[in-house]
Amino acid sequence: MTEPQLLFVPCPDAGSGHRMAYWLWGDPAAAHLVVCVHGLTRQGRDFDTLARALCARSKRPIRIVCPDVPGRGRSDWLSDPAAYQVPSYAADMLVLLAHLRPTDFDWVGTSMGGLIGLVVCGQGGLPLPAPVRRLVLNDVGPVIQWQALERIGSYLGKTGSFESLTAAADAMRSISAGFGPHTDPQWLELSRHMVRPLSGPDGRPPEHGMLTLHYDPAIAQAFRTLSPESAARDEAVLWRLYDNVSAATLLTRGEQSDLLARDTALEMTRRGPHARLVEFAGVGHAPTFVADDQVDAVVDFLLG
């Protein structure tokens, strides 16, 4: 399968509900499921390279599902911006898992997707269809460096307007140096699903072919309620979730990450599920799972 199928699942909320989009790769009937969840402003097509590799190398039927977290990509925007938070996202993922009904499943989470994974894997008593078998946390852990949150906050919500995909890709590249080196074709492919046509005034049809980033600017509202004090309080909760994880765990880290400190990563190898740590040179926050060594590390862990 060279392209995924776009599907939707209805999710409840305090209003009239919303639809969450997800991209399906592989065998739709496969009992083994891998759920891949993206970072804060990204979307499910970030995992195209990884999904293709899993489909090609798996010796048994496999399906890979890559949701667009609400407010991003093809998913609905939420009517209440205050709901753009990890607990709400985790509730939507439980709806998705109940819909997919896997016999066994793995979780791959980049940054925000990893935090959602900690709730799903570490919160006891959740109505999971099956235990999580293997967990990949990509450049995220219980302690998140405040300077990285400040950096993200400096651009979050500024979706911009661009005359072309190339112009949008260039702008995203300037704020995403931590993703590490990519060829121009690789970066353009990562950027292609990150834009949508920019509507004219009052929602009229797009004008002059202009593009904008494909996420709800309102996700910045909840993010901006964070403070150093609230982040410190969250650490204790996240460590409890991490310590409750029973799945075999791989922790991937950009060697130059400003979000996941190496001391935190090492502590994660000593407690909870005793994660296996793999670091990638020349990369910050966060590895994109496009480079061969990054793909191989995750595929070997999930299929080994």
Specify the CATH number for the domain of residue 20.
3.40.50.1820
Report the predicted TM-score, pTM, of the whole model to 2 decimal places: 0.96
pLDDT tens per residue across span 214-252:
999 999 999 999 999 999 899 999 999 999 999 999 999
Domains of the chain: total: 2
Question: In the listed set 178, 199, 214, which residue is the last one of a domain according to the structure?
Answer: 214
Q: What 3-state class would DSSP assign to 75?
A: coil
For residue 72, the cross-strand partners are 215
Distance of CA 273 to the CA centre of its chain: 21
pLDDT at 207: 56
24/168 same-domain check: no
72/115 same-domain check: yes
148/165 same-domain check: no
Question: Cα(138)–Cα(19) distance, rounded to whole angstroms?
Answer: 26
Q: Is the distance from CB of 198 to CB of 161 less than 8 angstroms?
A: yes
Q: Say which range, 1-10, 32-41, 205-214, 218-227, has the weakest mean pLDDT.
A: 205-214
pLDDT at 2: 82
pLDDT tens per residue across span 102-154:
999 999 999 999 999 999 999 999 999 999 999 999 999 999 999 999 999 99
254/299 same-domain check: yes
Question: In the listed set 184, 214, 244, which residue is the last one of a domain according to the structure?
Answer: 214
Q: Is the distance from CB of 106 to CB of 136 less than 8 angstroms?
A: yes
Q: Which domain holds residue 77?
A: 5-157+219-303
143/176 same-domain check: no
133/266 same-domain check: yes
Question: Cα(142)–Cα(126) distance, rounded to whole angstroms?
Answer: 20
Q: What 3-state class would DSSP assign to 243?
A: helix
Angle between helix 146-153 and 228-244 (nearest 10): 120
Question: In the listed set 166, 198, 214, which residue is the last one of a domain according to the structure?
Answer: 214
153/165 same-domain check: no
Compute the Cα dihedral for 276, 245, 128, 17 and give only its sign.
Answer: negative
145/10 same-domain check: yes
203/227 same-domain check: no
229/201 same-domain check: no
Q: What Rg value do the Cα atoms of the chain yield, rounded?
A: 18
